[in-house]
Amino acid sequence: MARRKHPGASSLKPRVVGRAELPAWMQQCQFIERAYRTQQDSYRGCFKSLLYIHNETVNIWSHLVVGVFFVAMATWAAFPSFHGGYAFKRTDLLALQTYLLGASICCLFSAFYHCVSCHSEHVARRCLKLDYLGIASNITSTCVSATYFGLYGQPRLTNFYVTIILACGFAAFWSMLDPSADGPRAAKFRAAVFIALGASGFAPILHAALSPSLTLDGFSVEHVVAQSAFYLLGTAFYVNRIPEKYWRRTFDVWGASHQVFHILVSVAQILHLLGLKKSLLRHYTT
């Protein structure tokens, strides 16, 4: 007589395991040793992991919450209550919403990838490309929105630099499609590509600084400098695997480099939004 499977047997499977218990494809993070989710092989299992603690919890929720916030802001910008009595031009609001959309894509794609990264190797690799697309969208929309308000009233110059930035954004994402761009060993390559993409946004700033007929006022330079510092600091933590590389098992669940990177990116995104607000209002209060 066949033995009946206990109805609750599946629940006996541990939710989190050590790195050594994972299949080979999930063992890429050599400095994180504990609190891994098991391979789920189902989206339902992945989404259930939102409800318990593991080493991707902070990565998921840090960007999920911020992503929802940006979606709400982009939606709110379309309603009169957002305008606060100002008669904003449609193109001005569109530039602001472009950034909010790019930032929301970044955060939501990132949260989705980190949520389903335990599904299977095939799904994880495919969704990792969504994560890269989100990063490229965030950087590109940041540079485009800053250029629009920084070169306000200079349509030809604005279109010239926006075209260059969009081309750089496409090229950056295209370079991420190759499988060799994945994994911890390629972290420095990815960082270099995305930093180079971000640097394209400084071209219009440099142009304005060198031109006697333009000013830097519309760029909100203090916000640009601050957000750039947060992005670079977060990237430094991520690329160098600080702090988990030096304090094994201490930061497996809370405070690992990727989590620090996520939080600092979110801070930089908020700073850019504040800078855009300042630049936008400048054209309606002076």
DSSP per residue over the chain, as a string? -PPPPPTTGGGGS-SEE-GGGS-GGG---TT--S-EEPP--SHHHHHHGGGS--TTHHHHHHHHHHHHHHHHHHHHTTSHHHHTT----HHHHHHHHHHHHHHHHHHHHHHHHHHHTTS-HHHHHHHHHHHHHHHHHHHHHHHHHHHHHHTTT-HHHHHHHHHHHHHHHHHHHHHHSSGGG-SGGGHHHHHHHHHHHHHTTHHHHHHHHH-TT--SGGG-HHHHHHHHHHHHHHHHHHHHTTTTTTSTTTSSSSS-HHHHHHHHHHHHHHHHHHHHHHHHHHHHH-
Contact, 266 vs 254, CB < 8 A? no
Question: Known binder of ligand: residue 272?
Answer: no
The answer to whether residues 188 and 239 touch, using CB atoms and an 8 Å cutoff, is: yes
Token pair belonging to 1:
């007589």
Is 6 labelled as part of a ligand binding site?
no
Q: CA-CA distance, 153 to 23, in Å (whole number)?
A: 56
Task: Residue 14: name the closest of 46, 47, 38 by CA.
Answer: 38
Q: Binding site for Zn(2+): what residues are annotated?
A: 114, 258, 262
Q: Binding site: what residues are annotated?
A: 114, 258, 262
